[in-house]
Structure 1
């Protein structure tokens, strides 16, 4: 029977395999995973490892596309994919390509099975760590539900039956936030301390717990939830957030982030791109660990390489590219009459003297890739304009891909999706602290300065400016704009902007717009290139109801106590 268990537990390994078990695994294994004679707790640990596999893995997971392709940062290169339900506002309770309800409640169910049975396994030194890990995973699954649906049923330690679910009612948004935060507080000192030993890398640590608490409180303080309800019945409003605004929520979010920043157990990785392609580094607090692979390159890489075929699924927009400033940290559209003129930006050579993170985020015309310059000009090898999937914008995804400038083939690389990383925690703090205060203090400036310095932006010599920003005297609104743009470019393609635009409650503007690309024309006689920005697509956010996902129709029919979200 133990052999059958191993066969059934096609589970995630903490050093690699990313397969997610979707079936009722515990029905096959429960009597064997929790074995009073298993003196090493091997089978119980495999059961727990399988629960880890339900954590967010953000690579091409929406019908083969990145979630960022449902924002103003990118477009899907292929037409007709399920991601377009977001970009065309055709989402419904029956057709949601990011329907996370069943997945996360399955995870919660497995956690509850684990907690109900683990005490029989004779490994007393391990059980306290494992229980705390399981409770974190449950809290994380609730956060993934709340950020999509608002208030959801809190089921406690009840093991739900997949066939005959309990008719739980939805809890309020406030109750869900309080539960997640209280769980983080209860287990933060019961999990492993940081830094983790090599053999424990990928497990839940104190820093991971604090990162979830900080993110949860940041969301709770944000405009959508902090008194910004979108209407509906009195009951529906309870699921959307707090009834009224409270500035103190920003303070709580700032302090939660500071609790992780102050011990200095994490730091910014010296080389930006290493954050995404080095398995263990100083910045990633929790990553979704996978086997080495080249799937990101084949899914998203440029299409024009015969020896390294790729699908080019992701087309970053010109709007994202324009959000990156210059090497001086200045916006490319800075007024030449300002004291920060001479930015170094040249519209005729638009990728020179730019923020170094641009080259780590998108592949653009002329950049070295697979031992030749990328050709995304009209008719080029990577934009042939034939009957094939190709970039719509003249850009391809670079972030998360390995270093293949001088290679000829793709080979397996460590691609571990960063669920939490230190730069996000820093930006969480800067945002919350700026919103809490009437005007930003020195600690807020320092966050942006440190992140820009790591990026390779020069400090500059203009009096009153540092790394392209005013060194003092910014208003709260000016700093808010700077933080939001910094977050956009620093966290691009990490499943942040999709949620940021919603929690800031600006999706109705930011996602109701034309999407731009670059038309690059090459003179066949001189090889000279001309660049012209052009509209290449459109994204819509048709109704405020889209700030929240609809409860799946299948769940409403199974549980008549569930109340649908406003507008659905």
Structure 2
């Protein structure tokens, strides 16, 4: 598959697929299963696509990693705690139940299509997609109604009750276990890239169990009625859930089918097929990411600069030697703050002086990219770099392969390290190795200081110290991949981390000498005003349609 679309299909373009009769799509005379496969491709299109999807902004602009550069009513529902059951810009209820309904239509009808060699793969893929849609619901709402194989009638809704969080987790894991041997093996053939493979199934299982083991769900309930509590997590903490999560991640690691070694960090996001991406949302080549998020000062590029990474994120990246920039031995120099830093910084944000579109970026006050003339511009002194093509020496943006990484191997490694560390009383060698391997790939130097490797202690870290290290590594490695928004919730730290001022870098340039002065400054605020924000509210329209649905705590 080169893109998840219905391009080129003329038979079923005249209306939504679910409105076309099943006999039309699932045709016993369609010897190649062409139309049924187009229906399946349409189900794939419901998978998460994280590019500027929340009112035109990245979901990360609802965290401490970034701000919207313009007044952005949608994303600010999160940053100002003004989310409601009537107004949720990331309301995924209808979208994912639509996917579940289409999956059930497919599974009900596919056996009449005369392509026996493909049908087992297609069935397994569809079951995965259905499980994935349930995961997307559970991470937002907690336990949701499990509808089984029933094809719901949108015109005649049934009054399902919510299943418990535990029942939903068990269902997703059971589906992954049932189909992991029925999907295509890795590595996928060229024509199958983007489809569900064994590694994809194992990655969903690992992520699901990681979430289930995390503090919010693993006995960390936010309160409410007895029903609300069972929808929002397990009643009691059980350390064994961390062990199950670590084992699930290790199962994928042991396949040896994916790697980070030898994969250039930036290429993970702009090369369609590589050894690290387990599943990407495939899109046609485009330059929309660049025009939406690129710096505003390039007349020919006409970019909108929508995303402003924060100084808080920039400071999370260590020095080139891996040491925190507050450490005197890190090599950090306040008058030249972007020199000798973790190379992932330059692959994640665009900062003043970096070459872009054949000139140095000017984010100093009054510079071309921060003109202060009431137009949309960076609020923080930074623009987004991650996911954008390599345009240092170009003059215009050109179409690039931008495929949102739904699962990639570095996340699996970090999932393992987190779960393993939380399960043990102190981290073992396998946990240290994950961080060392990720930092080595990033380009951080190994160093020669006794007791340190790639900037971190090579032994003797406490469980708490390692937790801090893993969480920061996850932040900088997975920035702008829709991870931190959910991480801060599952760790149950959002009420602290997302209640604070947000910082940027104010840069002034001496008109005579050209010397630059850097000053950290507060440029905005973020609010997580109530523990109810850990879960989305069930949409008001669903609550009024189905009186059996119990609303989440506090909404």
Q: 1:29 to 1:363 in 2, by over 3 A?
A: farther
Aligned twin of 1:221: 213
**Secondary structure of 2:492's aligned partner:** coil
Aligned twin of 1:362: 349
Q: 1:385 to 1:22 in 2, by over 3 A?
A: farther
Matched, 1:231 2:219: no
Pick the aligned partner of 2:514 from 527, 537, 551: 527
Matched, 1:251 2:243: yes
Q: Distance in 2 between matches of 1:270 and 1:211?
A: 19
Pick the aligned partner of 2:285 from 263, 282, 292: 292
**Secondary structure of 2:517's aligned partner:** strand
Q: Deviations over 1:340-384 (max 9, x none)?
A: xx2111000000000000000000000000000000000000000
Shift of 1:270: 2.3
Shift of 1:456: 0.2
Q: Deviations over 1:299-353 (max 9, x none)?
A: 000000011110000000000000000000010001x3xxxxx211100000000
Q: Distance in 2 between matches of 1:140 and 1:455?
A: 30
Q: Deviations over 1:452-475 (max 9, x none)?
A: 000000000000000000000000
Pick the aligned partner of 1:148 from 140, 145, 160: 140
Mapping for residues 136-535 of structure 1, pairs under 5 Å: 136-268=128-260, 269-334=262-327, 336=328, 342-535=329-522
Q: Deviations over 1:372-414 (max 9, x none)?
A: 0000000000000001000000000000000000000000000
Q: Distance in 1 between matches of 2:263 and 2:442?
A: 9
**Secondary structure of 2:460's aligned partner:** coil
Aligned twin of 1:544: 531
Q: 1:203 to 1:485 in 2, by over 3 A?
A: same
Q: Deviations over 1:67-115 (max 9, x none)?
A: 0000000000011431000000000000000000000000000000000
Q: Distance in 2 between matches of 1:375 and 1:18?
A: 42
Q: Deviations over 1:450-503 (max 9, x none)?
A: 000000000000000000000000000000000000000000000000000000
Q: Distance in 2 between matches of 1:15 and 1:85?
A: 32
Aligned twin of 1:40: 32
Q: Distance in 2 between matches of 1:110 and 1:208?
A: 20
**Secondary structure of 2:272's aligned partner:** coil
Aligned twin of 1:5: none
**Secondary structure of 1:537's aligned partner:** strand
Aligned twin of 2:73: 81
Q: Distance in 2 between matches of 1:137 and 1:514?
A: 39
Shift of 1:18: 8.9
Q: Deviations over 1:133-189 (max 9, x none)?
A: 000000000000000000000000000011111110000000000000000000000
Shift of 1:17: 4.2
- 8 Å CA contact 1:17–1:289 kept in 2: the answer is no
Aligned twin of 1:9: none
Q: Distance in 2 between matches of 1:17 and 1:559?
A: 33
Shift of 1:263: 1.5
Shift of 1:14: 4.2
Q: Distance in 1 between matches of 2:522 and 2:413?
A: 34
Shift of 1:25: 1.9
Q: Deviations over 1:525-565 (max 9, x none)?
A: 00000000000000000000000000000001111110000
- 8 Å CA contact 1:317–1:393 kept in 2: the answer is yes
Matched, 1:106 2:98: yes
- 8 Å CA contact 1:14–1:203 kept in 2: the answer is no
- 8 Å CA contact 2:5–2:41 kept in 1: the answer is no
Aligned twin of 2:10: none
Q: Distance in 2 between matches of 1:202 and 1:252?
A: 27
Structure 1 stretches lacking a partner, 5+ long: 1-12, 337-341
Q: 1:18 to 1:75 in 2, by over 3 A?
A: farther
Shift of 1:59: 0.1
Q: Distance in 1 between matches of 2:131 and 2:101?
A: 12
Shift of 1:15: 3.0
Q: Distance in 2 between matches of 1:23 and 1:503?
A: 39
* Aligned residues between the structures: 549
Aligned twin of 2:59: 67
- 8 Å CA contact 1:18–1:53 kept in 2: the answer is no
- Shifted more, 276-285 versus 29-38: the winner is 29-38
**Secondary structure of 1:499's aligned partner:** helix
Structure 2 stretches lacking a partner, 5+ long: 8-12
Q: Under a length normalisation based on structure 2, what TM-score does the superposition of the two structures give?
A: 0.98
Shift of 1:22: 13
Matched, 1:27 2:19: yes
**Secondary structure of 1:262's aligned partner:** helix
Q: Distance in 1 between matches of 2:72 and 2:455?
A: 41
Q: Distance in 2 between matches of 1:357 and 1:22?
A: 46
Q: Distance in 1 between matches of 2:185 and 2:194?
A: 13
Shift of 1:32: 1.2
Q: Under a length normalisation based on structure 1, what TM-score does the superposition of the two structures give?
A: 0.96
Shift of 1:30: 2.1
Q: Distance in 1 between matches of 2:47 and 2:180?
A: 18
Aligned twin of 1:7: none
Q: Distance in 1 between matches of 2:191 and 2:263?
A: 24
Q: Distance in 1 between matches of 2:3 and 2:136?
A: 24
Aligned twin of 1:15: 3
**Secondary structure of 2:405's aligned partner:** strand
Q: Distance in 2 between matches of 1:313 and 1:561?
A: 41
Aligned twin of 1:8: none
